[in-house]
Chains A and B, each alone.
Chain A
Amino acid sequence: MKIRRIGIGAIALAAASALMLSGCTTSAPDQSKGNKGTITVATTNEATSFNSSTPQGNLDTNGMIVYLTGTAGTSAGASLGGFFTLDDKFQVKHNDNIGTYEKVSDDPLTVKYTLKDDLKWSDGKPITADDLLVGWAIGSGYYNDSTIDEATGDVTGGTQYFSLAGSTDGLDKTAFPEVSDDNLSLTLTYSEPFVDWELANLLDKPAHVLADKAGVSEEDFIKTLKDTPKGDPANPVAPNATLKAAADFWNTGYDFTSFPDDKSLLVSSGPFIVSAYTPQQSITFSKNPEYKGSDEPAYDELVLRFIGDSNAQVTALQNGEVNAIYPQASADTLTALKNANLETFEGNQLSYDHLDLNFGSPVFQDPKVREAFLKTIPRQQILDSIVTPVNPDAKVLNSQIFVPANPEYSDAVAASGYDSFDKPDIEGAKALLAGATPTVRILYNTDNPNRVDSFQAIQASAAQAGFNIVDAGSPDWASLLPGGDYDASVFGWISPGAGNAALAQIFKTAGGGNYSKYSNASVDEMVNQAQTELDADALSKLKIDIDAQTAKDFYGLPLFQAPGLFASNGTVDGIKFFGNQTGIVWNAQDWTLKG
């Protein structure tokens, strides 16, 4: 009896086990999927958004995504699936895979964009002039009736629809565009000349996706754009619900923290499309099946891995976990790469470090104190410790506007006289100070070793002349910069390499990037002229004059052009240095895997 019970129990147990086991097994996986042809690139920062044109999305890795998938818009500019890219000399290169655009008239400035026939978004929907119209609507701020406080940049009234990291300058001077009957071309007419007309890429996020998110059909969305009048800040009206819904989605809907379920966020016009994302680890691009351009990549997948630490990037490259890296350039990183027999690609970045004096601070109201302080800056020593080991030919940068590669550079140096501040002149500084010992608080990024080195060098040198230097550095320097609670700052400007938008931002009174509260009426005047100057020589002249005038006011000192560094372990052909913030992926479409 007992034995039987045990027997039944055993059978029941076995049956239950079998059932449970069958429930927990998986089918045998298929390994058939071709795993050949993946290129992995390390980047420092994580990806956070598919839209790099918004203030919070304007980060370098997001810019790479947008560049590769092509939905850049006017704010981000160059992209593989847009109207133009930049070549390695920063010359605008029209991208005939998408279409053409040309200036049809100088006065008034008229530009005609024409899309290639039969282009498709990655979800199979056609790319038409409707998409260009949406791109224009986003980039021009045509419908905004907002009033913006010049001093703080805040909206004080009315509605601002699309929130751009860049400005609407230039495109805000265009009338509602004309669209051709075949719905493939669009013509923009500017009310005044615009120097950077070639940098207006009208292909932004797809019209059909934005329309869908606004809850209307694409036709209705375009109709809304056509019917809504131009915004007038003087007479703000109630916001248009459809436009507002689309804009709100564009502003925040593309931000992600995990791989989105909604595949319409991924829609691409370029050669790549985002196919996977692991939070804080990597983002994977595969080929866009609908892309018909000539620069289709010769490999299956491109993976961007996020590795914050430069040393970790170097070992990962050495170990073959990534094929190429884009680390912060430093002498040690470069030597480590060379010691490990890895391929390096060095060059100058389109960014320069500089020391700015805060004109809003009481210490620097006196030009003599400004001059004395600038005289103590050991620019040659800073260069020698930071840049020379990476780039032995580097020279101290002597212009706030040009880099040595520009033809205007030598004229600018002659006009500005920045080269007289090469070596510190402690005696001269002491004479100007006449016994005073001003306290100077310097803001810089404590997380960037180059800035820390610059600060320490300045601190040691300025102290000799009697300055009392206070460390006001912070890892959050960027957010402290506009506040003005410091006397001088050391940081870098990055420019896209083409265009003149930065002039107004940095040097104009209350400009968006004029953190040092610099104000000079004649500079303002020249900056305004430069924005509408279409003649290249006259433009150069204006820029040299601006450079010279800021030098006369002891605006600050340019320090050096930042060195840039790519490296690969020899498994990928076609990597080439490029100093723009697109970084290493700028020619990813041309890469090939060896072997």
Chain B
Amino acid sequence: MAAYIARRIGVSILILIAASFIMYVLAAGSGDPLRDLRGGNAANEAQLIAARVSALDLDVPAPLRWFLWLGGAAKCLVPFANSCDLGLTLDNAPVATILPTAMVSTLQLVTVATVVAIILGVVIGIVTALRQYSGFDIATTFLSFFLFSLPSFLIAVLLKEFIAIGFNDFLQDGAAIPAWLIVVIALVAGLIWMVLIGGSRRRRLIVFGVSAVATGAVLVYVSLTSWFLFPGLGPVGLLVVLAGVVFITTSLVSGLANRRALLASAITAAFVYIAFFVLQGLFTISSAFTLIFIAVAALVVGIVVGFLVGGSDRGQAVRAGAITGIVSMLLVFLDRFMQAWPSYVESGRINGRPIATVGSGTPGLTGDVWVTGIDSFTHLLLPTIALLLISFAQYTRYARAGLLEVLNQDYIRTARAKGLPERTVIMRHAFRNMLIPIATIVATDVGALLGGAVITEKVFAISGMGNLFATALGRTDLNPIMGYFIVIAIVAIAFNFLADLAYAALDPRVRVR
């Protein structure tokens, strides 16, 4: 395994070098980096040109200049030496210093969009496959393709118009949901659940009624308490939600019949619930690192609990405990973020309109990790949605096709024939195999998302990598182009690598060589 990883890293570096050469020569040939000076009316034009030529080695032909660039870039591999040299921009700013600020928002965007797109896409793909040619299937296919076919800047306009401005108006009007909307949402939710759960006519009607009433009741509560202005789960809400987490996690991981897994999950959730009360004081003074530490601690607690109560089938109990631990702790964090929401919304710089349409942060906003976290959330929400819709449709299609393919395999028929419960058939036998094509396209999809970020960042005025690239390309500013390229190439390669590992893990026929 170690040898495999080492070889993969070696190969990746070679790929990176080859691709960077292609990119360098192409980008260098795309224009004249001295154009602005040649056209300018500066009196010391010749001097400025000479200065730039010597600063950027423009007198060296591009293929040779690439070696100079590579030499500087290679220094980035030396750990902790801080000797990274990715060259200068046309404005004499070192690329190595402007890159990190640009990287943060783009990587945030792309990572969240990828993860959410995969999860949503796979879930919806599974459901549409299980309900093939149902109304839900056709509607989802239509919707996902509709969203997929809309250019991202058009989606951006729609999101800004309806989500940002609409939701902010709604908040400013006191966050009361109109009655007709409650009815419509309740009916739609009822319909969706009905189609999803299926069954006989009577069962469908019951599902429809129960889910519509439940949705309606929650919405009425939310509306009456102006929940969106003062959100929060509270001790009671959290207890209910945690119970749900225990139930769903266990039933997906092992089935409720596995009492030890259920016990592990429940004990972990109980620990987290206690932590919810104990840690509130710590949360007030927390930094991002504290939160990561606490989340990891919750994960460890889940694993330990699973290990201790697991008995004979330890693996499942450990898995149930770990998933419950981390998910529950994230919910506790979510509750704390919600507690910080009113102070954020009412801050003088937000003026009661939290969902933002431009930029990656409110200028000059200061606050603790919760407030700044919410600020990032409100700014990155819309761009992330715009970005994830690019790949969301693709994942639903592949997941649907993949599951349909798998469900027709003999081993699934065999599994069904031997009387295994449907959950086991889908989760144990079909799910893994369905993920194989998904793992294959993740790598290429991340590349597409990174490309798509160029447009998304432009529309939302976010100063990320894409913006950096677009500006630099317009001026034939080679070093920032290459800086951009290096980052996205490394991300693409990393995802590629992860996909290959996942691939090997999922498909026993593929050996890690």
Chains A and B touch (C-beta atoms under 8 A apart): yes
Where the two chains meet, the residues of A that have a C-beta atom closer than 8 Å to any C-beta of B are: 17, 20-21, 24-29, 31, 33-38, 40, 42, 48, 55-56, 146, 148, 152-155, 160, 163-165, 252, 255, 257-258, 276, 278-282, 284, 301, 303, 305-309, 311-312, 315-316, 318-321, 475-476, 478-483, 512-513
B343, A25: Cβ atoms under 8 Å? no
Closest 10 A/B residue pairs (Cβ):
A479-B39, A280-B463, A35-B348, A24-B289, A55-B42, A282-B363, A257-B93, A479-B35, A315-B160, A320-B353
* Residues in A whose Cβ lies below 8 Å from that of B98: 257-258, 279
A153, B357: Cβ atoms under 8 Å? no
Query: Within the assembled complex, what's the spacing in Å between the Cα atoms of A21 and B278?
Result: 14
B363, A319: Cβ atoms under 8 Å? no
A163, B44: Cβ atoms under 8 Å? yes
A307, B40: Cβ atoms under 8 Å? no
B282, A25: Cβ atoms under 8 Å? yes
B366, A153: Cβ atoms under 8 Å? no
* Residues in B whose Cβ lies below 8 Å from that of A280: 463, 467
* Residues in B whose Cβ lies below 8 Å from that of A483: 38-39
B297 nearest in chain A by CB position: A17
Query: What is the CB-to-nearest-CB distance from A236 to chain B, in angstroms, rounded to a whole number?
Result: 14
Query: What is the CB-to-nearest-CB distance from B353 to chain A, in angstroms, rounded to a whole number?
Result: 5
In this assembly, does B164 line the interface, its C-beta being within 8 Å of a C-beta of chain A? yes
Query: Within the assembled complex, what's the spacing in Å between the Cα atoms of A237 and B89?
Result: 34
Query: Within the assembled complex, what's the spacing in Å between the Cα atoms of A17 and B286?
Result: 14
Query: Within the assembled complex, what's the spacing in Å between the Cα atoms of A284 and B297?
Result: 41
A155, B41: Cβ atoms under 8 Å? no
A42 nearest in chain B by CB position: B358
A38, B366: Cβ atoms under 8 Å? no
20 A-B pairs whose Cβ atoms sit less than 8 Å apart in the complex: A17-B293, A21-B293, A24-B290, A27-B285, A28-B284, A29-B368, A34-B348, A35-B347, A38-B349, A55-B40, A152-B45, A257-B98, A278-B361, A279-B101, A280-B463, A312-B160, A320-B353, A475-B474, A476-B31, A479-B38
Q: A281 with B363: in contact, given A257-B98, A258-B97 (CB under 8 Å)?
A: yes
Query: What is the CB-to-nearest-CB distance from B91 to chain A, in angstroms, rounded to a whole number?
Result: 6
Query: What is the CB-to-nearest-CB distance from A371 to chain B, in angstroms, rounded to a whole number?
Result: 30
In this assembly, does B61 line the interface, its C-beta being within 8 Å of a C-beta of chain A? no
Query: What is the CB-to-nearest-CB distance from A284 to chain B, in angstroms, rounded to a whole number?
Result: 6
B366, A305: Cβ atoms under 8 Å? no
Where the two chains meet, the residues of B that have a C-beta atom closer than 8 Å to any C-beta of A are: 31, 35-36, 38-47, 89, 91-93, 97-98, 101, 157, 160-161, 164-165, 168, 282, 284-287, 289-290, 293, 297, 343, 347-349, 351, 353, 355-361, 363-364, 366-369, 458-461, 463, 467, 474
Query: What is the CB-to-nearest-CB distance from B481 to chain A, in angstroms, rounded to a whole number?
Result: 16
Query: Within the assembled complex, what's the spacing in Å between the Cα atoms of A26 and B287?
Result: 6
Query: What is the CB-to-nearest-CB distance from A148 to chain B, in angstroms, rounded to a whole number?
Result: 6
Query: Helix, strand, loop or mixed for chain A's interface?
Result: loop
B40, A281: Cβ atoms under 8 Å? no
* Residues in A whose Cβ lies below 8 Å from that of B35: 476, 479-480
Query: What is the CB-to-nearest-CB distance from A477 to chain B, in angstroms, rounded to a whole number?
Result: 9
A28, B285: Cβ atoms under 8 Å? yes
A315, B42: Cβ atoms under 8 Å? no
Q: A319 with B43: in contact, given A26-B285, A301-B364 (CB under 8 Å)?
A: no
A159 nearest in chain B by CB position: B44
Interface contact tally, CB-CB below 8 A: 176
Query: Within the assembled complex, what's the spacing in Å between the Cα atoms of A42 and B357?
Result: 13
A315, B165: Cβ atoms under 8 Å? yes
Query: Within the assembled complex, what's the spacing in Å between the Cα atoms of A139 and B175?
Result: 59
Query: Within the assembled complex, what's the spacing in Å between the Cα atoms of A528 and B98?
Result: 48
B363, A284: Cβ atoms under 8 Å? yes
A31, B343: Cβ atoms under 8 Å? yes
* Residues in B whose Cβ lies below 8 Å from that of A478: 39
* Residues in B whose Cβ lies below 8 Å from that of A31: 343, 367
Query: Within the assembled complex, what's the spacing in Å between the Cα atoms of A448 and B429?
Result: 58
A28, B36: Cβ atoms under 8 Å? no
Query: 12 more A-B contacts (CB under 8 A) besides A48-B91, A319-B168?
Result: A24-B286, A28-B285, A29-B366, A153-B45, A154-B44, A258-B97, A279-B463, A281-B463, A312-B461, A320-B353, A476-B35, A483-B38
* Residues in B whose Cβ lies below 8 Å from that of A320: 168, 351, 353
Q: A284 with B364: in contact, given A153-B45, A279-B463, A312-B459 (CB under 8 Å)?
A: yes
B165, A319: Cβ atoms under 8 Å? yes
* Residues in B whose Cβ lies below 8 Å from that of A479: 35-36, 38-40
Query: What is the CB-to-nearest-CB distance from A261 to chain B, in angstroms, rounded to a whole number?
Result: 13
* Residues in A whose Cβ lies below 8 Å from that of B474: 475-476
B42 nearest in chain A by CB position: A55
A308, B290: Cβ atoms under 8 Å? no
* Residues in A whose Cβ lies below 8 Å from that of B47: 155
Query: Within the assembled complex, what's the spacing in Å between the Cα atoms of A481 and B286?
Result: 57
A322 nearest in chain B by CB position: B358
* Residues in A whose Cβ lies below 8 Å from that of B157: 311, 315
A319, B353: Cβ atoms under 8 Å? yes
Query: Within the assembled complex, what's the spacing in Å between the Cα atoms of A155 and B45?
Result: 7
* Residues in A whose Cβ lies below 8 Å from that of B355: 319
* Residues in A whose Cβ lies below 8 Å from that of B348: 34-38
Most buried by B among A25, A34, A148, A163: A25
B279 nearest in chain A by CB position: A21
* Residues in A whose Cβ lies below 8 Å from that of B349: 35, 38
Query: What is the CB-to-nearest-CB distance from B325 to chain A, in angstroms, rounded to a whole number?
Result: 15
* Residues in A whose Cβ lies below 8 Å from that of B89: 257
Query: What is the CB-to-nearest-CB distance from A11 to chain B, in angstroms, rounded to a whole number?
Result: 16
A321, B356: Cβ atoms under 8 Å? yes
* Residues in B whose Cβ lies below 8 Å from that of A40: 363
B39, A482: Cβ atoms under 8 Å? yes
* Residues in B whose Cβ lies below 8 Å from that of A281: 359-361, 363, 463
A154, B45: Cβ atoms under 8 Å? yes
A309, B458: Cβ atoms under 8 Å? yes
B43, A160: Cβ atoms under 8 Å? yes
* Residues in B whose Cβ lies below 8 Å from that of A55: 40-42
Q: A480 with B160: in contact, given A28-B284, A154-B45, A257-B98 (CB under 8 Å)?
A: no
Query: Within the assembled complex, what's the spacing in Å between the Cα atoms of A48 and B42?
Result: 17
A307, B363: Cβ atoms under 8 Å? no
Query: Within the assembled complex, what's the spacing in Å between the Cα atoms of A308 and B363?
Result: 17
Q: A319 with B357: in contact, given A153-B43, A311-B157 (CB under 8 Å)?
A: yes
A319, B160: Cβ atoms under 8 Å? yes
Contact of B357 among A17, A21, A146, A321 (CB under 8 A): A321
Query: What is the CB-to-nearest-CB distance from B453 to chain A, in angstroms, rounded to a whole number?
Result: 15
Query: What is the CB-to-nearest-CB distance from B66 to chain A, in angstroms, rounded to a whole number?
Result: 24
Query: Within the assembled complex, what's the spacing in Å between the Cα atoms of A66 and B500?
Result: 55
Query: What is the CB-to-nearest-CB distance from A14 to chain B, in angstroms, rounded to a whole number?
Result: 10
* Residues in B whose Cβ lies below 8 Å from that of A21: 282, 290, 293
B355 nearest in chain A by CB position: A319
Query: Within the assembled complex, what's the spacing in Å between the Cα atoms of A284 and B365?
Result: 12
Query: Within the assembled complex, what's the spacing in Å between the Cα atoms of A40 and B285?
Result: 31
* Residues in A whose Cβ lies below 8 Å from that of B297: 17
Contact of A163 among B43, B97, B356 (CB under 8 A): B43
* Residues in B whose Cβ lies below 8 Å from that of A282: 359, 363-364
B45, A28: Cβ atoms under 8 Å? no
Query: What is the CB-to-nearest-CB distance from B465 to chain A, in angstroms, rounded to a whole number?
Result: 11
Query: What is the CB-to-nearest-CB distance from A437 to chain B, in angstroms, rounded to a whole number?
Result: 31
Query: Within the assembled complex, what's the spacing in Å between the Cα atoms of A20 and B292?
Result: 11
Query: What is the CB-to-nearest-CB distance from B44 to chain A, in angstroms, rounded to a whole number?
Result: 5
B47 nearest in chain A by CB position: A155
B290, A25: Cβ atoms under 8 Å? yes
Q: A307 with B461: in contact, given A36-B348, A479-B36, A481-B39 (CB under 8 Å)?
A: yes
A312, B357: Cβ atoms under 8 Å? yes
B461 nearest in chain A by CB position: A307
Q: A305 with B358: in contact, given A20-B293, A163-B44, A257-B98 (CB under 8 Å)?
A: yes
* Residues in B whose Cβ lies below 8 Å from that of A38: 348-349, 364
Query: Within the assembled complex, what's the spacing in Å between the Cα atoms of A512 and B460?
Result: 38
Query: What is the CB-to-nearest-CB distance from A445 to chain B, in angstroms, rounded to a whole number?
Result: 12
Query: What is the CB-to-nearest-CB distance from B467 to chain A, in angstroms, rounded to a whole number?
Result: 7
* Residues in B whose Cβ lies below 8 Å from that of A303: 363-364
Query: Within the assembled complex, what's the spacing in Å between the Cα atoms of A312 and B386?
Result: 14
A316, B40: Cβ atoms under 8 Å? no
Query: What is the CB-to-nearest-CB distance from B301 to chain A, in angstroms, rounded to a whole number?
Result: 11
